[in-house]
Structure 1
Amino acid sequence: MEDLSVDYLVINDLLLEQNRNLFQIDTLVIFQEKVYILDAKHSAGDFYIDDDNWRTLSGAEIPELQMKRRTILLRKLLQQ
C-alpha cells in the first residue's frame, strides 16, 4: 500500500458496537469511495480484490463468514 498514489486512512485495532453486537476489526482502510476491512488472523499471503471479493493469487476466494458479519455490522454503524 506504500506505493499507492491516492490518499487513504488506516485505522488499526478497532473494537466497535452496533446494536449491542461487539465486533473487532484488525485494520480498517478508508479511501475516498471505498472502505476495506483487513483481518490479519483470517488468512496469510498475497491477495487481490475482484468485484469486492478478496482472492488469493491463485484465484481462490477467501472464506468470509466472519468478514461478512463485520461488514454488515460496520455498514449499519456507518449508516447511523
Structure 2
Amino acid sequence: MTIRERLVDDVAEWKRWWSLRWIIVGAFCAGAAAAYQWLPADWLPEIPALVKKILGLGALISMGAAGVARVVKQKPTA
C-alpha cells in the first residue's frame, strides 16, 4: 500500500494548519449541537433558537472550510 499524500515535514507546526483549526471548530459546534439532545427537557425551552441556529451553521460552515483548507496551498510563515 502506497501513501499518496505528502507527509508533514514538521509536526510541531500543527498550530499553523488552517484545516486542523477548522476541524476543531467544527467538532466543537457539532458536539455542542449533538449534546443538545441530552439536556434535561425543562432546559430546552430556555435555549434561544438563535443559539441552535449558530451551532448548526457553525458546524456546517467550519467543516466545509476545513475541506477547502486541505486543498489550498498555504504560504509558510517564517
| TM-score with structure 2 setting the length | 0.30
Q: Which has the higher contact order (CA 8 A, sep 6+)?
A: 2
Q: TM-score, normalised by structure 1?
A: 0.29
Instruction: Answer 1 or 2: which has greater strand percent.
Output: 1
Larger Rg: 2
More helix by proportion, 1 or 2? 2
